[in-house]
Copies of this chain bind each other. A is one copy, B any other.
Amino acid sequence: MKKGVPRWFCFALVAMASLAWNVQAFSQVDPLPSWNDGLAKKAIIGFVEATTTQGAPGFVPVEERIATFDQDGTLWVEHPMYSQVMYCLEQVPALVKAKPDLAKKPPFSTVLELLHGDRAAMKKLNLKDLEVIAFATLTGMSVDDFKSEVKKWLAEAKDPRWKRPYTELTYLPMREVQQYLRDNGYKTYIVTGGGQDFVRVYAEQVYGIPPEQVVGTAGATKFGYGKDGKPVLTKQAKLVLNDNGPGKAEGIHLMIGRHPHASFGNSTGDREMLEYTKAGDGARLAMILLHDDAKREYTYGPAKGLPDTKVGTFTQALYDEATKQGWIVISMKDDWNRIFSFEE
């Protein structure tokens, strides 16, 4: 054996090199295994590589890496009805118990019929009714009490088709995109038409998105003091941000203050968010999910001749704008090999 470098040291070097190789190999594992190879998957990976490669023309400094996701219909199932609407309806019995004179008053009486099994009653409820029910069940209590109620409901409520908690009905491919973006220095935000306080209750546990990165429809709160002298914030029946349509761009400015570099949506309510995203300089990614998988989930549009719906409407005009503006349409049927994590 030659003097100088001992054999163990050579072994150590080889082991370290091998470790380094493994680390590199690991980083080349597919970050989006639930996505089929295709335009959509390529667009996501191409965007991340372009914006995070130092010196590349599309490079984005880490502090500007913001990605926004609509929630209902983009991150989790929204049919047959938004889960927050289900929450509001299912809170009505408790509300009526506290205020018995509401039991015979529409729209609360209609909701009671509906909950007692009269499905036809649903048709009697219009948008104005839903607003009345929303204000009655989402305001007037403290922020902390509301949070407890939502937590309790989420632990018990189940989606009628899959018989699972709503929080299990998230789309695995989208969670992979969120993780992939975060692994590459992006801050991931939810920008939802749903209630900001509602979504914040579970976003951290379900998506790894902290409360301060949830932008949603928000009501005013009122500062006051409880009986123990401690500060209490009470939810008011006054809208501060209607985070839908143009309100999504306005909400992004209010809460984030920059154009996102990537945005993901699925309906006309996301149009302005996607436009606002693309209006920023440099590399920008806009993607929109089409629900075209009748077997594994639902089909609705009315884009591409799919059935029309009031819940997550994706019009042909929006589809045409997507094509014209270079947004990427994700086909649930063709682009995703797996939808839910509980599937085989």
Chain A positions 64-81 with a Cβ under 8 Å from a chain B Cβ: 66
Q: Is A308 an interface residue (CB 8 A)?
A: no
Q: Is A90 an interface residue (CB 8 A)?
A: no
Q: Is A125 an interface residue (CB 8 A)?
A: no
- Binary contact readout A1-36 vs B (1 if CB under 8 angstroms, 0 otherwise): 101111001000000000000000000000000000
Binds B, one of A52-60, A157-165, A272-280: A272-280
A249: min CB distance to chain B, Å:
5
Closest to A274 in B: B231
Chain A positions 125-182 with a Cβ under 8 Å from a chain B Cβ: 143
Closest to A143 in B: B253
Contacts of A211 in B (CB 8 A): 256-258
Contacts of A250 in B (CB 8 A): 220-223, 233
Q: Quick check: B233 and A253 within 8 Å, CB to CB?
A: yes
Contacts of A1 in B (CB 8 A): 3
Q: Is A93 an interface residue (CB 8 A)?
A: no
Contacts of A254 in B (CB 8 A): 196, 218, 221, 240
Q: Quick check: A214 and B272 within 8 Å, CB to CB?
A: no
Q: Quick check: A255 and B212 within 8 Å, CB to CB?
A: yes
Closest to A213 in B: B212
Q: Is A328 an interface residue (CB 8 A)?
A: no
- How many chain-A residues does the 8 Å CB contact rule pick out? 42
Contacts of A111 in B (CB 8 A): none
Q: Is A210 an interface residue (CB 8 A)?
A: yes
- CA gap between A223 and B246 in the complex, in Å: 6
- CA gap between A268 and B172 in the complex, in Å: 48
Q: Quick check: A231 and B276 within 8 Å, CB to CB?
A: yes
Contacts of A66 in B (CB 8 A): 212
Q: Quick check: A253 and B221 within 8 Å, CB to CB?
A: yes
Closest to A258 in B: B211
Contacts of A214 in B (CB 8 A): 257
Q: Quick check: B231 and A279 within 8 Å, CB to CB?
A: yes
Q: Is A204 an interface residue (CB 8 A)?
A: yes
Q: Quick check: A279 and B230 within 8 Å, CB to CB?
A: yes
Partner of A200, one of B143, B231, B257, B279: B257
A190: min CB distance to chain B, Å:
12
Closest to A257 in B: B211
- Binary contact readout A180-208 vs B (1 if CB under 8 angstroms, 0 otherwise): 00000001000000001100100010000
Q: Is A329 an interface residue (CB 8 A)?
A: no
Q: Quick check: B212 and A258 within 8 Å, CB to CB?
A: yes
Closest to A189 in B: B212
Contacts of A210 in B (CB 8 A): 63, 257
Contacts of A3 in B (CB 8 A): 1, 3, 6
> 18 A-B residue contacts at CB 8 Å?
A3-B6, A63-B204, A143-B253, A197-B257, A211-B258, A212-B257, A214-B257, A218-B254, A220-B250, A221-B250, A223-B246, A223-B250, A230-B279, A231-B275, A233-B253, A240-B240, A240-B241, A255-B255
- Leading 7 A-B pairs by shortest Cβ distance: A211-B257, A223-B246, A212-B256, A231-B279, A223-B249, A231-B276, A221-B250
